[in-house]
Structure 1
């Protein structure tokens, strides 16, 4: 595609303004543009028309929590971080993902110091928005698959984070247990730096969670997982979805894993009906994403995949998902009976809103980056586009193979 080439996508339905609309999509120089000035001021016609075959065109999916995939573990392969991110980025486009936050689980300080400087946004696949540092400032009681010997307290405020991470320049999200920052000082400082604070891996009660949100936290890490269960006298972090102590005008977002394993369909429905505007679909995917049963790594821990589920090796403790994001969208839609548009927005508009990047990502608005995905009516990916260029296109054989995967049967049995 040459510079200034004007593309017109026709015979398509766009996800715009919370609905599917029969409109053409116009793209130039990697951006979605308003066609009216082109017609009336420039008096130009499209250089190229692309017939979309009545496909749905949606913004590209945004993945906020992914530990690795396709044999790569971002927290373990510390000497080949850039190569690993590149490999995963090229594979994610087959799932409709155009932007993502590589996630680093609780690790020793030297691991962060090696990984963080190697990360930048440019790849030949899905683009990196910045790192998600999930730990080490979490509760040992809710460590999940995080190594307890690496968990730390915040004993010197922001100095502790600098000592641990060394460099925050490539960081987009940090997960903190709010009880580790009881006054919210670190949360406030990170928020002022433009880093999204997520609450998770925590034994916090509701009041502690509310202090975190009042200090600037905007996100909850994988709702229901690695936190106190809902209790009617103190609902814990889950209660933030219905709290009346959230600052006026502030939305609380929450990641949720709709892989058919981590979160029961009834729990998906409870979250959806309680706080639909804040729901963000995440995979929490591990190195085994895209691979079969066998031994893999998650940071410092060995894990194994058995019968399509990932566990800490030698235990029955779940430790991440092997479902791609487009599969999670389909499972979520089936489980909740929500609209097609809403299911898509849970992987596009909502994560972009959480990160405050909706001017460029997560929508098909004029001026946004031309990162989008063409979908079938049952939400399988037909093609993926980044900056107005097609980076992936399915074949009929590939689609048939995708629909035959065992994990897709979860969409049918919920």
Structure 2
């Protein structure tokens, strides 16, 4: 048998495998995680290089499905799109994010037509995290639940894919779109979007449960930042929140839900209610804005500006939340503490679950054999020590302790 490829053995570590932490080595070849039994017994191979992990945890690389920008870059207003995407992708490596969906808030049509064609989906590398495709958060949403979105650009006149083509110009690089199901004709367009490989998310909506369930039965499979920018829970009509306990739909589709677990957007009790109702569906998102990674002050957000104080971001001059300035490790740590979930469950909410939303769980969000070797070294407090993409170290804090 002819065998090729350099084999790396990561030892003295605890890895997340099959939903639990185990004391085991991690084997990588050609950017892919390998089964050591196959290497030993079928190929009679040993490691070419051994890497001592000094007792660290190894977990899959984080995946952020909703991030508006960071490090002074706002995707909705940045003039040099390629440069802005590259800057954020590079900065995210320090925070363990190996793949992400850059997100555009509701914007004028000329912004979409200028920005959308500039993105190219790509795997991560030393140059930055992988880009999975755009998340378009609007403009076909409810003005009643606009949140920080600029109402003048919200479109209530929806005529299916034609409206999208007129507004966006192209949707080839779009991976997720947030829609309000009560907007006329939106529900009828959902199957077309799903057939194009676009994940339809329900969000920024005043929809009642019946309409939300109709959207799910048509193919919607995600909820954009649960509890935020939607009707509050009511015992006679729980609204979109009621989808947490919905049974399988006619299309046998599981509904996932994003939550901004920064400690600002949702009370810990609300977080616990959601997680205990549907623990396998939660997806942690940062919803980070351009000020993520910066200090307090006034920063741009699309056509508007926001004021940052501590971990809070509000539209300047208002008390309206405008996204988060939290990093993914912070969100994971807060989720773990607030919900009482295990470390494994907290990690999978930022790795496996978002991969499942996009249907890429065989290659991303896992350390299963045959998956991409995108992973993170972290300590017991979720502090990022190293980030690897395709088995190559792309970030090192220099803080790995020797045990």
Please give the range of the TM-score, normalised by the shorter of the 2 chains.
Answer: over 0.9
Per-residue CA deviations over 1:250-303 (Å, capped at 9, x if unaligned) read 211000011011110001100110111100000100000011111111111111
Counterparts in 2 of 1:297-336, with a 5 A limit? Answer: 297-336=300-339
Question: What 5-or-longer segments of structure 1 have no aligned partner?
Answer: 400-414
**The 10-residue stretch of structure 1 (193-202 or 292-301) with the greater mean CA deviation from structure 2:** 292-301
Q: Which runs of 4+ in 1 moved over 6 A?
A: none
Given candidates 243, 250, 253, the residue that maps to 2:253 is 250
Per-residue CA deviations over 1:139-181 (Å, capped at 9, x if unaligned) read 0010011111100124322110111111111111000001125
Secondary structure of the equivalent of 1:363? Answer: coil
- 1:51 matches 2:86: no
Counterparts in 2 of 1:43-192, with a 5 A limit? Answer: 43-77=44-78, 79-122=79-122, 124-181=127-184, 184-192=187-195
CA distance in structure 1 between the partners assigned to 2:269 and 2:62 by the alignment? 24
- Decide whether the 8 Å contact of 2:140 with 2:158 is kept in 1: no
CA distance in structure 2 between the partners assigned to 1:294 and 1:311 by the alignment? 11
Which residue matches 1:269?
Answer: 272
TM-score of the pair, normalised by structure 1: 0.93
- Decide whether the 8 Å contact of 1:173 with 1:198 is kept in 2: yes
CA distance in structure 1 between the partners assigned to 2:399 and 2:361 by the alignment? 33
CA distance in structure 2 between the partners assigned to 1:24 and 1:84 by the alignment? 37
CA distance in structure 2 between the partners assigned to 1:11 and 1:319 by the alignment? 43
Residues paired across the two proteins, number:
395
Which residue matches 1:279?
Answer: 282
Secondary structure of the equivalent of 2:83? Answer: helix
- Decide whether the 8 Å contact of 2:76 with 2:301 is kept in 1: yes
CA distance in structure 2 between the partners assigned to 1:167 and 1:278 by the alignment? 30
Q: CA RMSD in A?
A: 1.5
CA distance in structure 2 between the partners assigned to 1:389 and 1:132 by the alignment? 27
**The 10-residue stretch of structure 1 (155-164 or 320-329) with the greater mean CA deviation from structure 2:** 155-164
More helix, by proportion: 1
- 1:24 matches 2:19: no
CA distance in structure 1 between the partners assigned to 2:195 and 2:121 by the alignment? 22
CA distance in structure 2 between the partners assigned to 1:341 and 1:98 by the alignment? 18
Which residue matches 2:396?
Answer: 393
